[in-house]
Amino acid sequence: MAARCASTWLTPITRDDPSRKTQLRVGRLTKAHGLKGGLKLELYTDDPDRRFVPGAVFRLQVPTSSPWHGRTLQLAELRWFNGHAVGFFSGVADRSTAESLAKAILWVDQDAAELPEEEDAWYDHQLVGLRVLRDGAEVGVVGRVDHLPAQDLLAVRTGTGEVLVPFVKAIVTAVDIGAGTVTVHPPAGLFEELPDDEPESEIAEGRSTDAH
């Protein structure tokens, strides 16, 4: 699709950070694989061959109650089984240890100067908070970006609830980071309920007429 957001998730660190690093979410450990400490990976990067190389170190996002809280994980090997990525990590030698890492999110540090530039591609943190315009009028604000296998969705907060907008060029016609806006041309019914084709009273009247 022409308009899309990058598959990776970026969150800027505080502005006064002298290292000027950006944290990049590159994957999630979903569940244990086999008996030798393997873990299935859900990848959030378009370049796994560069991100997931032996020796790569990842920061772990886990609950504070997890024994892995505050620790890092070093990749020993990345393998592919039936099209699914499986990671093997230093210090994770058995299934029990691997299970303790299930659902952990993997992050890496990256210099802001190294961030890729790509036409019609935006990182999540650039989109969240943008005002959503429809026919020049504001209809909501982007609350988050959902990454689904089929497509990405903008979760738009409106006055009546949340609306999930497919992030495709046909619907999201313009993204203006400088102006802080997203312009949408949604199909009928996405932001409002459509009236019935025929009011119930007219249906009842029609039935009465047919009876004569």
Domains along the chain with CATH numbers: 21-111 (2.40.30.60), 122-184 (2.30.30.240)
Q: Helices in the chain by DSSP H: which ranges?
A: 48-51, 95-99, 124-127, 200-211
pLDDT digits (tens, 9 = 90+) for 31-41: 999 999 999 99
Whole-model pTM? 0.49
Query: How many Å apart are CA 197 and CA 35, to the nearest integer?
Result: 59
pLDDT digits (tens, 9 = 90+) for 89-127: 999 999 999 999 999 999 887 654 444 445 566 778 889
Let me know: does 184 contact 165? Beta carbons within 8 Å. Answer: yes
Q: How many residues does the chain have?
A: 212
* CA 79 vs CA 8, 45, 105, 200, 201: distances in Å: 20, 16, 18, 60, 64
